[in-house]
A = this chain, B = another copy of it.
Amino acid sequence: MKYCSLCGAPVEQRVPDGDNLPRHVCGQCGTIHYTNPKVVVGCIPRWEDRILLCRRAIEPRLGLWTLPAGFLENEETTIEGAMRETLEEASARVEVKDLYTLFNLPHVNQIYVMFLGDLLDLDYGPGPESLEVDLYREEEIPWDRIAFPVVEQTLRLFYEDRRRGSFGVHTGDIRRLPGEGRVYDIRMLKGR
């Protein structure tokens, strides 16, 4: 951020009075421009013993598989967002039932909120951001081609819970470790 979005003057980075973190502050009109984490919402769309996965048509992780999920929009609830993303990415209608996971991804300033969903019919297909969309049984999941650690962890919890016969709500932190490789630290708070 270089310029004030309200008056167009240059901004400076400094700790405002009464604050304890540096912010972008306009040198002319004094507006403090806060930046905060974004919420990603999505769901696990279920049909009998299968779930719907989407193969990404866009970067990052183009060509890899993911659950339908995307940024929550203003004036939208998390459930509305999860349903919208499922419609946009998989052209699929779901009933979104229960909160399932809340993951913190502090290295990318994101919070992932995932729900359990039930497909309403089998009329689905790739939206503009997907190359293909298909239903998978547990033994068919392409574990080595899942786009994001948060999606892999969500799926692993899902199958553990399904075997136990009870779905909790899971909270955890996923951090990318410093270095070259894609190595992540995953810590679960607790499942209930």
Interface residues of A (CB under 8 A from B): 1-8, 10-11, 18, 21, 24, 33-39, 71-80, 97-99, 102, 104, 106-107, 109, 111, 113, 128, 168-169, 171, 173, 189-190, 192
Contacts and interface: CB of A to CB of B under 8 A. Distances in A.
B102 A77 contact: no
Contacts of A2: 5-8
Contacts of A72: 36-37, 111
B35 A36 contact: no
Contacts of A77: 104, 106, 173
A4 to B, nearest CB: 7
Interface centre among A6, A10, A77, A169 (most CB of B within 10 A): A77
Contacts of A104: 77-79
A26 B109 CA distance: 24
